[in-house]
Amino acid sequence: MMQGQCLSLKTIESSNMNPLPLPYAHQWIDEHDIQAVVSVLRSDWLTTGPKVEEFEQAFAGYVGARHAVAVSSGTAALHTAMFALGIGHGDEVIVPPITFVATANAVVFQGGTPVFADVEAGTLLMDPQQVQEKITSRTKAIIAVDYAGQSCDYDALHSIAKEHGLALMADACHSLGGQYKGRKVGTLADLTVFSFHPVKHITTGEGGMIATDDPELAERMRTFRNHGIDMDHTSRMKQGTWQYEMMELGYNYRITDFQCALGLSQLNKLTSFVQRRREIAEMYDRAFASIKGINPLHTPPEVMNSYHLYVIRVNDRDQLFGQLREKGIGVNVHYFPVHLQPYYQKTFETREGLCPVAENAYNHILSLPMFPQMNDNDIERVVTVIEEILN
């Protein structure tokens, strides 16, 4: 389940000459990115400086949201969003089981209880019908996870949220640059969370962002990422005062200026990164259409998938996983259902049988290499090796 980084760029560049290991994901850092970071290192501001706001504004502009708040990781972003929504002890938040553990953990950080709603078999996205059935008088919010890069059914989720007075949050760590019914990811929920871990669409090393149209939520999040203090160092300097007030219990979830400089530089390439991811997916789709036994996830027509992952379903997943790994193809499995993690079983008494669709899917899913720097030969190599194994 580790989202590890695997290999150096050099390995990838030579991969079409030698059958060297191919990772399932990899960042793409160029000279411009490096220069952007270096120039901040030479400046006066390493953190809480101008690059943070610049990155936030550029990012908000890209996704079409009024506000964006940058933090130190996607996990910090999820926690910050839970705080902003006022999630606390005894509150229930509905989450899907097919996601990274951090989605559910963020509810627990605030003393809440994650309630798992099963996914749809074709997409492995949260099933609105299942969400509806999990609502109780304690339910406060829904976290939709755009698994693999495609948006959940936000129209359905919105109407459920509205009917029951719930907040709707999107964990869009997989779907930056995607769309739903022509609307951009980042505008589809009350709060939308992103990650800039190296395996994601753009990277800041570690980093995260929350997009929202609500100025009050944005303000609460800015305070939370800075210990719950209502003023940061810059504004104290401007106002000529040493005084500050801690209004709430917050954390140090700040991101540095050199990370934000990298984020800004990466953001310039996001559109082309997503374009290449979609091309790679199309090549996989075409190849697997004629290979029996390989069943990619279904993408609904109203969704523009930005493909964080390319997920197939196969009968004997464990065998295919082992053989591909042996041949140097960096496949992975996303995810072991969160409600079956020992911590959740122990703490919340979640058991096998709670989310049968997710549990069954878990036995068959496999994530193939997917990152923009993959070349056509890399893709062909993955397909050819799979064909050889299946025959």
Ligand X SMILES: *Cc1c(COP(=O)(O)O)cnc(C)c1O
Distance, first Cα to last Cα, the chain: 29
**C-alpha separations of 176 from 97, 169, 305 in Å:** 21, 15, 9
Catalytic residue among 51, 184, 200, 327: 200
Say whether residue 103 binds ligand X (CB under 6 A).
yes
Nearer to ligand X, 208 or 250 (CB): 208
CB within 8 Å of 267: residues ≥ 6 apart: 55, 58, 59, 62, 202
**C-alpha separations of 68 from 56, 191, 204, 266, 331 in Å:** 5, 10, 15, 16, 33
Nearer to ligand X, 259 or 350 (CB): 259
110: DSSP letter: T
Nearer to ligand X, 126 or 385 (CB): 126
Stretch that binds ligand X, among 25-33, 98-106, 178-186, 240-248 (CB under 6 A): 98-106
For the bound state, the minimum distance from the C-beta of residue 146 to ligand X, rounded and expressed in Å, comes to 8
Say whether residue 381 binds ligand X (CB under 6 A).
no
Q: Which of 49, 112, 177, 208 binds ligand X (CB under 6 A)?
A: 208
Say whether residue 341 binds ligand X (CB under 6 A).
no
CB 385, CB 19: distance < 8 Å:
no
CA 96/CA 23 separation, integer angstroms:
27
Say whether residue 332 binds ligand X (CB under 6 A).
no
User: From the centroid of its chain, how far is CA 134?
Assistant: 24
For the bound state, the minimum distance from the C-beta of residue 390 to ligand X, rounded and expressed in Å, comes to 29
CA 120/CA 287 separation, integer angstroms:
25
Say whether residue 74 binds ligand X (CB under 6 A).
yes
Active site residue 200: yes
Site size toward ligand X, by CB under 6 A = 14
Say whether residue 75 binds ligand X (CB under 6 A).
yes
Binding mask 161-190 for ligand X (x = CB under 6 A): ----------x-xx----------------
For the bound state, the minimum distance from the C-beta of residue 151 to ligand X, rounded and expressed in Å, comes to 13
Q: Which of 15, 27, 80, 99 binds ligand X (CB under 6 A)?
A: 99
CA 166/CA 235 separation, integer angstroms:
34
CA angle 118/333/284 to nearest 5° reads 100
Hey, which residues are catalytic here? Answer: 200
Catalog residues that contact ligand X under the rule CB under 6 A.
73-75, 99-100, 102-103, 145, 171, 173-174, 195, 197, 208
